[in-house]
Amino acid sequence: MLANGVYLAAMLEVEADRQTCKFPDLDAAVRDLGEMFGNGQLLAQLRQQLKISYRAAYQKLIDAANHNLTPQLKNGFRMEGHMASASLDRVLLLADGISIVLRASGELKILYGL
């Protein structure tokens, strides 16, 4: 028997090509589903609309990495790097949010001279 509360459960689904996370099987456990969720209509809307985009964070990561991968080194050496992409490695559900771990790919060169 449920106390005075609502319990939501869902499996996370990641759309890596769109850089979004969604919860298509969101479900609720409440004493009276009809009273709280309008006979499931609100729950159906939540399933369709609850998406989390990490596109901005993804692009910020790529831009920051490319900016930091071209420093001047000492004694005539320099480094040139370019991060081409970052693919989804894993998703961690934390108590206060979601951590999305990406695996970066690109190239890094250490050059000498001009």
How many domains does the chain fold into? Answer: 2
Average pLDDT over residues 102-107: 87
User: What is the pTM for the complete model shown?
Assistant: 0.59
Do 27 and 67 have their domain in common? no
Structure tokens at 81: 């790097």
Residues 6+ apart with CB under 8 A from 31: 2, 4
Residues 6+ apart with CB under 8 A from 85: 62, 104, 105, 106
The parent domain of residue 12 ranges over 1-53
Do 46 and 100 have their domain in common? no
Render pLDDT for 37-47 as a digit per residue (tens, 0 to 9).
666 777 778 88
Average pLDDT over residues 45-50: 81
Please give the pLDDT value at position 39: 64
Mean pLDDT computed over every residue of the chain: 80
Distance between CA atoms of residues 62 and 91, nearest Å: 18
Do 26 and 44 have their domain in common? yes
Binned at pLDDT 50, 70 and 90, residue 5 comes out as low
